[in-house]
Amino acid sequence: DLAEDSPGISPYCLCQIYLSVFFVLFLQDGSKQRQARKKTVSFSSMPSDRKMNSTAACMAFMMEGCEMKKFRSNSRMYSRYFLLDPDMRWLRWEPSKKDSEKAKLEIKSIKEVRLGKKTPVLRSNGLSDQFPDECAFSIIYGDNYESLDLVASTADVVSTWVMGLRYLVSYGRHMVGVVEPSQPSVRTSWIGSMFELADPERQGHIDLFRATQIIKGLNPGMRESRIELKFKELQKAKDCYGEGIDLDIFVEAYCELCTRPEIFFLLVQFSSNKEYLDSKDLMLFVEVEQGVEGVTEEMCREIVRKFEPSAEGRDNGYLSIDGFTHYLLSSECHIFDPQHKHVCQDMAQPLSHYYINSSHNASLLEDHYWGSSDLSSYVRALRMGCRSLEVVVWDGVDCEPVVYVHVINQYAFESSEYPLILCLVTHCSVPQQRVMAQHLKKILGDKLHIEPPNMEDHYLPSPEKLKGKILIKGKSLPSDSQDSEGEVTDEEEVTLCKSVQFRDFETSKREQKHWKICSFNEVDANRFANEFPEDFVSYNKRFLSRVYPTPMRIDASNMNPQDFWKCGCQIVAMNYQTPGLMMDLNLGWFRQNGNCGYVLRPAIMREEVSYFSANARDSLPGVSAQLLHIKVISGQNLPKPRGSAAKGDVVEPYIYVEIHGIPADCAEQRTKTVSQNGDNPIFDESFEFQINLPELAALRFVVLDDDYIGDEFIGQYTIPFECLLPGYRHVPLQSLTGEFLPNTTLFVHVAITNRRGGGKAHKRGLSVRKGRKAREYTSTKTTGIKVVDELFRASTQSLREATDLRENVQNAMVSFKELCGLTPAANMKQCILTVSSWLMNSERAQRVTVDLSGAYPTMEAHGPVPELLRKVLTAYDTMIQTSRTLIESADGVYSKLTQAQRAGLDFHEDLHRIGAREGLKGRKLQKAMESYAWNITVLKVCSFSLCSIMLFPLYLI
């Protein structure tokens, strides 16, 4: 029973009870979701730089009041002045046609405070586009769950009211001792102890320098000038300017300088013990917001022990605002998934199935014509994870070619144990080439791979099989050649990476052997990518291809590697000596597999029978797009751009959020500029991106200075989409040359919806409401070959059933979430907490029982309940029934899809002959082959999606 007369059951316990129910129920991946917003908080700089760094400050602001817009169900809008009564029992507004006794709302009648546009009134078409989501909130009150829908002028005003009202609803006015605290808090006691350590003689004050250094030591990124200025401001306000810093000033300065309001609001949102988190609060935050599985109280107590600075907090298991800030800044809340810091991909695939980190002209320090050569550049490239190194060989004195084999041998496997490909570019005579070949064998020894390729194989060996080996890419000179043209590795060796000239895709398909590799000038590669995108992708399924910069890049600028990765090109050679966007993309991309230099390409670009076009501008076959929601909340300790020191410390930052990937995914959006604030600028802006091929997408944050004319670059961070963690995360920023800027970060919120099967279930458990629009991505195409088309036509009904099953459940889930007052991106834990809080906070007994005796749990109300709760229970029942239909039908539909897929693959070997026999040739035959590959891919992806429903039962949670 979940009733008001069960006060001993905490919302957290109710959450755990419900989770056991949903574990059984939702055996599907819930991966269709339109809007990628989780429950978040918003904060921007307050008017007049007012600091909301305590509950007391919020209450004081609410008592002073402010003007907001009040919306009614008929979409009419009224400007009213809202304020909290001094006794904190009533919320009032004026002027109003009602008398003063009616234009008020009793705090204890409030059931819930919703941030954003989460009621039917605020979601209505007439209002939704008139104001940003961050400026809206709703107060749900009374036994009938009515809503007071409000819009404020700024997001920070909304945050203050939401936080303050939630606090009053949760703890009541008798708990607000923070307005006039009767005893020191855990935090102020700890700050006082820091002061006492600096004042061993108990003089009651310390000098300005020592006080500054203490705060600087506790917050390494903070500027000393800012700390000193704050002390002087407070001294002047208290008329003690020039004297020592006493305890009161020290505590006040620390609280104002070191309290990040956006983190404080987040803490209060989850706190059940005034202004700190206990282990149960922290469990909810880590599990519900951060998406971590298997969280225990002991894990949370360990977080407290690790990050809480006060001994009192550690002893009692409390995480204060300082401890919470330290935790959120730690690697545990980094945006980069730590599992990708190690090799985490299958390394047993053929070498052609991987992207390979590659360097072009690594020995040059600057441009191609005037740059100097330096041995350390080889070392730097290898240490950065490069696995394909271009080595230029020149004629030397005494018939000794100039080549740096010794240094390559020394550092070849320092950063990665996987194979290194040396791309020889010879500018020396044939005799010296032969000497070079002997040097390579002698110096590299057992590391040099000299085994001839297996003629019976169709693919190159895997990186796993070639561990610790160095492969030589070069041309062989015929043994009877006497001239000085051409290249030679050694006449007696034809290697795994023999260089050959590319003629055309049809010739390669007929004649090229799997151990031969073609190099493409970027101009030619771009032409192939635009004119023959499907052929280029198909070619790279079997053969290695290397793309190198055009000689016209005399300044050693870089091409965009994504332009060629989308075609499947494995080796895209970059000028490592030239920093910038392109190198950011390259280095960021190869972080995702332990920085080992190899990244497994998307399955759709590896499988022999699959369809993918490099220029795809819409959904891929069988899948719908995923949505990435990024909320840029704030920045920390942003420095001035390089070379701008003459303008002082003022920074006016703004941020670009960029998506790089296939053409359909490339996009960018920017925040507003924050004036004269690099210490903790608040952006509080949300962006949404559609991602069609997440396996080839990367997210890049770029921070720029609007105040600086010239190179405005402050910092950047690039992360592969597959490495993103959901929740509240800090993003470390890097300089132009790649070094991490100390204590310089962005604070963001990440939500990903419509993630499809595989990987970590907790990141892929969100859903979206899908319309009944055309579903081209799950439809088969006509090939023009009668027997083949008949087979695929027979699978149409099964594809429709599979799509309907998923979308029916997803639509039912979204309806349930919206009735709970949450967005489609919310997870089930948030829904459970919301409904349980309604029942716990109701003024009258409301009894709801959960029946676990059957295969599918039911929820039933006993006695009268409000209309909203009745709708929630109805939506829950609909969700149960659609889930039941999905679960009980999935096996049959999956069987039909896989059977159709297997039958379709039987045509693969003879498809070309069958098509030609039916009169198809030229472009028509090519189009038939593409449609066939599309259909096989649709069947494969749809059947895999159903399989993932059964394999990943925790998707919803």
> Hey, what amino acid is at 894?
Y
> Hey, what amino acid is at 619?
S
Does the bond joining 602 to the residue before it have cis omega, within 30 degrees of 0? Answer: no
Task: Let me know if residue 344 belongs to a domain.
Answer: no
CA distances from 68 to 78, 157, 866 (A): 8, 9, 28
Which residues have a Cβ under 8 Å from the Cβ of 254 and sit 6 or more positions away?
191, 215, 218
Residue 301's region, left for phi above 0, alpha for psi from -120 to 50, else beta, is alpha
Q: 239 and 200 share a domain?
A: yes
Task: Let me know if residue 73 belongs to a domain.
Answer: yes
For 611, the 3-state DSSP assignment is coil
Q: 787 and 701 share a domain?
A: no
CATH number of the domain where residue 500 is located: 3.20.20.190
Q: 579 and 659 share a domain?
A: no
Give the pLDDT of residue 154. 85
pTM: 0.84
Q: 298 and 359 share a domain?
A: no
Strand partners, 599: 355
Distance CA 640, CA 650 (A): 7
Task: Let me know if residue 638 belongs to a domain.
Answer: yes
> Model confidence over 908-932: pLDDT tens digits?
888 989 998 989 988 899 899 989 9
Low-confidence ranges of the chain (pLDDT < 50): 1-49, 174-182, 365-372, 478, 483-486, 489-493, 755-774, 951-957
How large is the angle between the packed helices 261-270 and 155-171, nearest 10 degrees?
Answer: 30
The H-or-E segment that residue 69 falls in is strand 66-71
Give the pLDDT of residue 371. 38
Distance CA 285, CA 108 (A): 25
Distance CA 149, CA 77 (A): 10
Which residues have a Cβ under 8 Å from the Cβ of 558 and sit 6 or more positions away?
549, 574, 575, 578, 580, 582, 583, 586
CATH number of the domain where residue 274 is located: 1.10.238.10
Number of domains in the chain: 5
Distance CA 598, CA 413 (A): 13
For residues 423 and 392, the answer to whether their CB atoms sit within 8 Å is no
98: domain range? Answer: 55-171
Task: Let me know if residue 487 belongs to a domain.
Answer: no
Q: 161 and 309 share a domain?
A: no
The H-or-E segment that residue 437 falls in is helix 430-444
Distance CA 2, CA 14 (A): 8
Distance CA 821, CA 831 (A): 8
Q: 728 and 831 share a domain?
A: no
CATH number of the domain where residue 110 is located: 2.30.29.30
Secondary structure tally for the chain: helices H, strands E: 28, 28
Rounded to a whole number of angstroms, the CA Rg of the chain reads 32
User: Which of 121, 148, 171 lies at the terminal end of a domain, its last residue?
Assistant: 171
Q: Which segments of 711-795 does DSSP mark as H helices, in order?
A: 786-794
Strand partners, 702: 656, 716
What is the 8-class DSSP label of residue 112?
Answer: E
* Nearest CA-CA partner of 364 in 351, 377, 380: 377
Q: 205 and 130 share a domain?
A: no
* Nearest CA-CA partner of 518 in 550, 545, 480, 495: 545
Q: 549 and 421 share a domain?
A: yes
* Nearest CA-CA partner of 466 in 320, 597, 627: 597
Give the pLDDT of residue 776. 65
CATH number of the domain where residue 727 is located: 2.60.40.150
Q: 711 and 830 share a domain?
A: no
Q: Which residue has the tokens 């004119």?
A: 531
Which residues have a Cβ under 8 Å from the Cβ of 898 and sit 6 or more positions away?
939, 943
Give the pLDDT of residue 767. 35
Q: Which segments of 541-597 does DSSP mark as H helices, in order?
A: 562-565, 581-589
For residues 266 and 41, the answer to whether their CB atoms sit within 8 Å is yes
The two structure tokens encoding residue 525:
């590669």
Task: Let me know if residue 772 belongs to a domain.
Answer: no
Q: Which residue has the tokens 């000033």?
A: 249
Task: Let me know if residue 856 belongs to a domain.
Answer: yes
How large is the angle between the packed helices 796-819 and 786-794, nearest 10 degrees?
Answer: 30
Task: Let me know if residue 610 belongs to a domain.
Answer: no
DSSP assignment of 191-248:
HHHHHHHH-TT--SEE-HHHHHHHHHHHSTTS-HHHHHHHHHHHHHHTT-TTS-EEHH
Give the pLDDT of residue 134. 80
For 685, the 3-state DSSP assignment is strand
- Show the beta-strand stretches assigned E in 396-486: 420-427, 470-474
Positive or negative, the Cα torsion across 700, 339, 949, 607?
Answer: positive
| Widest distance between CA atoms in the chain | 107
> Model confidence over 830-885: pLDDT tens digits?
787 778 777 776 666 777 887 878 888 888 888 888 888 888 899 999 988 988 88
Query: Each residue of 832-852: b (16+ CB within 10 Å) or e?
Result: bbbbbbbbbbbeeebbbeeee
Q: 945 and 851 share a domain?
A: yes
For residues 782 and 757, the answer to whether their CB atoms sit within 8 Å is no
How many Cα atoms within 13 Å fall on the side-chain side of residue 61? 24
How many Cα atoms within 13 Å fall on the side-chain side of residue 645? 2
Give the pLDDT of residue 494. 75
User: Which of 171, 205, 234 lies at the terminal end of a domain, its last residue?
Assistant: 171
For residues 957 and 23, the answer to whether their CB atoms sit within 8 Å is yes
Task: Let me know if residue 139 belongs to a domain.
Answer: yes
Q: 729 and 641 share a domain?
A: yes
Distance CA 245, CA 209 (A): 10
Q: 443 and 561 share a domain?
A: yes
For 572, the 3-state DSSP assignment is strand
